[in-house]
Amino acid sequence: MGALDLSFFTWDLVTGYLLKGFVFSIYLTLIAMSGGILFGTVLALMRLSGRRWLVYPAAGYVNTMRSIPLVMVILWFFLLIPFVIGRPLGAEWSAVITFTAFECAFYSEIMRAGIQSVALGQAAAGSALGLTYGQTMRLIVLPQAFRNMLPVLLTQTIVLVQDTSLVYAIGAYDLLKGFETAGKNFNRPVEAYLAAALLYFVICYALSYSVKRLHTRIAVVR
Amino acid sequence: MIEISNVSKWYGSFRVLHDCTTRIEKGEVLVVCGPSGSGKSTLIKCVNGLEPYQQGGIVVEGISVGAIGTDLPKLRSRLGMVFQNFELFPHLSVMENLTLAQVKVLGRAPAEARDKGLKLLERVGLKEQAAKYPAQLSGGQQQRVAIARALAMDPIAMLFDEPTSALDPEMINEVLDVMVRLAKEGMTMMVVTHEMGFARKVANRVIFMDGGEIIEDAPTEDFFGKPRSERAVQFLSKILRH
Ligand SMILES: Nc1ncnc2c1ncn2[C@@H]1O[C@H](COP(=O)(O)OP(=O)(O)O)[C@@H](O)[C@H]1O
Ligand SMILES: [Mg+2]
């Protein structure tokens, strides 16, 4: 193998191949994160509700998702959905839905721990003021649970950023796909994959660093 | 105003409350004392329905607490409650602690709620702390904010569950002073406490609990003058020594 040749990295390459993939990866991460936290919180509340008809479905869902490799969920959903809705769903849409559905299982475990980390007395104080159960959760318990768990939620998001590259399985055009395509077209696959790895590293490292900063700041506030 | 009749409560097979009966008239102060684990917190939490009970009845201003269909949030909004560990909301400022339920439960306008909050903070001597967060206040200050938060709802009665027992000794009086003033202004109060000085000063009646039972229920002078039960005598001699 010859020396690395990075001369094909030009602005045109960025706009022509990489930007679209980068934007999709970010988009997928953001949707899967916000949707995952939202639905994850709902699942966590169901599991903590103490009502069997809510606890069992939620627990079953979470445990199932957590025991299947993500790449299989991505594939199955993509392959099965045409049979269910009668027409294929684009790889991008399919990825967005799959990731949200998968990640919410993981975020729900984090939110469950977060809710349990808020002292019972807080909910009692909310109720004692006349707030309903829903208001107590929304205004008193969840904000504190969220704040307590922010570093862990972000850590899960770092995993999510890396996992988004698995959409290669269904051919969605993400960050990795952008580099791969460029590498193929310019016949420089090694350089392209190296550059992709570097970019994933930079993104995740920056996120980890902010998690660390956040940790110390939250520790100070408490 | 508050009538507790033959209330019993079980945790599984363990009977926490045993046939408890007492009443509090409007403007009265009832002090509840008794050893740890005797069911005092459980009883006071039954009054605003934070804990369910299985037998007997509690009626607050004509509303039966345990009845099916009782609007418990509404009932609770009319009964102020102060906890041993303050339970201020740590993610909200002092002012937000005071206005949250006024706005969300009573439907007051934010400006009106703030005015009310400021007045009450002034009343408990903490007007300058409005913008701070609970963690920035001392325990005594936090408990005074908690009292102000409960008063902001214009309650018909106040429930206190050992409001001073989590405080450093030097902060107990600032909280008791607020409570004494409240009692003298005619607030109806049920107070779980071991502060017998406070009981002597403002209580109309004192009840003594042990093992989930109300053993002694007497006007204050009688309670300190001639407690009838052996257990109450023992308990008093223990806590009055400190
Ligand atoms: N959630 C609970 N489950 C089971 N037992 C409880 C629970 N809460 C309180 N108890 C028991 O009920 C008894 C009365 O408790 P409590 O009302 O807190 O007493 P006090 O306030 O007088 O110290 C204690 O023996 C306590 O262990
Ligand atoms: Mg207690």
In whole angstroms, give the CA distance from residue B143 to residue B80.
13
Q: Among the ranges A87-91, B153-157, B227-231, which has the highest mean pLDDT value?
A: B153-157
Give me the pLDDT at residue B238, please.
83
Residue A140 has pLDDT above 50, yes or no: yes
The domain total for chain A is 1
Phi and psi dihedrals of B38, rounded to 5? -85, -5
Question: Looking at residue A189, which CATH number applies to its domain?
Answer: 1.10.3720.10
Centre a 10 Å sphere on the Cβ of residue A202 and count the other Cβ atoms it contains. 10
Query: Using the beta-carbon criterion (under 8 Å), do A130 and B76 form an inter-chain contact?
Result: yes
Counting beta carbons within 10 angstroms of the beta carbon of residue A38, is it exposed (0 to 12), middle (13 to 18) or buried (19 or more)? middle
Domain encompassing residue A191? 6-221
Say whether pTM exceeds 0.80.
yes
Percent of chain B predicted with pLDDT > 90: 90
Counting beta carbons within 10 angstroms of the beta carbon of residue B176, is it exposed (0 to 12), middle (13 to 18) or buried (19 or more)? buried
What's chain A's average pLDDT?
90
Note whether residue A1 is domain-resident.
Answer: no
Give me the pLDDT at residue A221, please.
52
Note whether residue A215 is domain-resident.
Answer: yes
With both helix axes pointing from N to C terminus, report the angle between A19-48 and A142-163 in degrees, rounded to the nearest 10: 140
Give me the pLDDT at residue A2, please.
60
Give me the pLDDT at residue A222, please.
46
Residue A220 has pLDDT above 60, yes or no: no
Q: Which residues of B touch A130 (CB under 8 A)?
A: 73-78, 101, 105-106, 153
> Atom 8 of ligand 1 has which residue's CA nearest to it?
B42
Q: Which residues of A touch B79 (CB under 8 A)?
A: 128
In whole angstroms, give the CA distance from residue A73 to residue A67.
11
pLDDT tier at B240 (50, 70, 90 boundaries)?
confident
Strands of B189-192's sheet, edge to edge? B79-82, B157-161, B189-192, B29-33, B205-210, B213-219
Q: Among the ranges A151-160, A181-190, B98-107, which has the highest mean pLDDT value?
A: B98-107
pLDDT in tens, B127-137: 999 999 999 99
B81, B162 in Cβ contact below 8 A? no
Q: Which one, of B47, B48, B64, B53, lies nearest residue B17 by Cα? A: B53
pLDDT in tens, B39-97: 999 999 999 999 999 999 999 999 999 888 899 999 999 999 999 999 999 999 999 99
In whole angstroms, give the CA distance from residue B43 to residue B20.
8
Q: Which residues surround ligand 2, an ion (CB under 5 A)?
A: B 41
Give me the pLDDT at residue A217, please.
75
pLDDT in tens, A12-68: 888 888 899 999 999 999 999 999 999 999 999 999 988 999 999 999 999 999 999
One-letter amino acid of A64: T
Note whether residue A62 is domain-resident.
Answer: yes
Residue A112 has pLDDT above 90, yes or no: yes
B90 in contact with A, Cβ within 8 Å = yes
| Average pLDDT for B195-213 | 94
Residue A137 has pLDDT above 90, yes or no: yes
Counting beta carbons within 10 angstroms of the beta carbon of residue B51, is it exposed (0 to 12), middle (13 to 18) or buried (19 or more)? middle
Map tokens 């400006």 to a residue: B111
| Average pLDDT for A71-78 | 92
Give me the pLDDT at residue B242, please.
56
